[in-house]
Amino acid sequence: MLLSELMEGETGVIVRVGGNGALRRRILEMGIVKGTKIYIDKYAPLKDPLELIVKNYHISLRVEEAAQITVEKQQQQD
């Protein structure tokens, strides 16, 4: 599934980072790389952008950018 399809409070693991050029490089430089756990903290009021937590950092991405990233949804653990 795409990162942009995860809901608030859900966790996933990066499977693939798509895109090309400067956008892909910027995403990779922010630590969004294959195998990294990612948490959707919240969406803005109009659903764009979304705030992620990656490696204990808060990162904002536009939904259009998040749609370039494939994730595997993780089940919530109690």
Confidence of residue 69 (pLDDT cuts 50, 70, 90): very high
Does the structural domain 3-74 have CATH classification 2.40.30.10?
A: no
Tell me the C-alpha to C-alpha distance, in Å, between residue 10 and each of 19, 37, 48.
23, 11, 17
Q: What is the pLDDT of residues 14-56, one digit of tens each?
A: 999 998 889 899 989 988 999 999 999 999 988 889 999 999 9
Give the pLDDT of residue 70.
94
- Judged against a pLDDT cut of 70, whether residue 77 lies above it is answered with no
Q: What is the distance, to the nearest Å, from the Cα of residue 5 to the centroid of all Cα atoms in its chain?
A: 10
Give the pLDDT of residue 41.
93
Q: Is the peptide bond before 49 cis (omega within 30 degrees of 0)?
A: yes
- Judged against a pLDDT cut of 70, whether residue 78 lies above it is answered with no
